[in-house]
Structures are given as C-alpha cells and as structure tokens.
A = this chain, B = another copy of it.
Amino acid sequence: MPYLTDEVIDPHALVQRVMRESDGAYVLFEGVVRNHHDGKAVQSILYDAYRPMAEKEMELIVRDIESQYPDVALAVVHRLGQLVVGESSIAIVAASPHRREAFEACRMMIDRIKETVPIWKKERGPDGEEWVGWQGRC
C-alpha cells in the first residue's frame, strides 16, 4: 500500500488492515488541520511532497520502528493536496498485543515522520499564505 494519498483518509480501514487476533490494543493518531498556528488564523493547508522519496522514507521509518518493536504492526497514510480545517493530514495505527508498545511506536512514528519525510505545507489564512518552516531560516 502506498503511504501517500490524494484522497480523504479512512482511519477505520487503516485499523482493519493491521489488526491481528493476537492484538490487545491499538493506538490511532490523526493529525488534523487546525484553525490556528503560531498565533495566526489558518483556513486551509496545501500539502506537497517529493513523492517517491517520501514513500521511501516512510518505508524506512516503518521498518526501523517495527524492528525496535517486533510485536507491533504499523500502518500509515499521509494525505497531500489542499485540506481545510478539520480534515486529517495523516493517520498512523500501531497495533500490538500490549498497549505500551502501541503507544510508543505510534508516537515514535509521527515524531520521525516530522523529522525527515520530504513533505511540506503551505498554510493559508486571512493574512495570506506561507510555507511553514522556511521564513527566518537563513
């Protein structure tokens, strides 16, 4: 399954994809477009990606976390394109026989994705639009 999609995310389908009869818990994380960022109003976000590289980076992270947590099964999907407030940009499911590993693996997954996967977002609000993270970097 690809890690990137241009469609609305179906978290329930993601859960169904990973759950095994030996799993006693799953943790689902969804990142959602919120109506504010750094004190400014946000109306929508455009997500862009270096698609083939983003797919590869996601795969590397999934494999690395599954090797650290051998009992955990992971599924992840990141949406691209224009999203409005309330829509989900990412869903991560970590299923496990025990809850501790599910929480840890899910959180590690979102932390790692935010560090290295080549995906960008342009926030749009009443004051204009801006690529997040670029301004003031120099």
User: Which A residues have a C-beta under 8 Å from some C-beta of B?
Assistant: 11-12, 15, 19, 21-36, 85-86, 97, 99, 102-103, 106-107, 110
- In the complex the two chains form, is A31's CB within 8 Å of B103's CB? no
- In the complex the two chains form, is A107's CB within 8 Å of B103's CB? yes
Number of identical monomers bound together in the oligomeric complex: 2
Question: CB within 8 A of A22: which of B12, B23, B34?
Answer: B34
List, in ascending order, chain B residues with CB within 8 A of A110's CB. 99
Would you call the interface of chain A mostly helix, strand, loop, or mixed?
mixed
List, in ascending order, chain B residues with CB within 8 A of A29's CB. 25-28, 99, 102-103
A110 to B58, CA, bound (A): 29
List, in ascending order, chain B residues with CB within 8 A of A97's CB. 34, 36
- In the complex the two chains form, is A19's CB within 8 Å of B31's CB? no
List, in ascending order, chain B residues with CB within 8 A of A31's CB. 24-25, 99
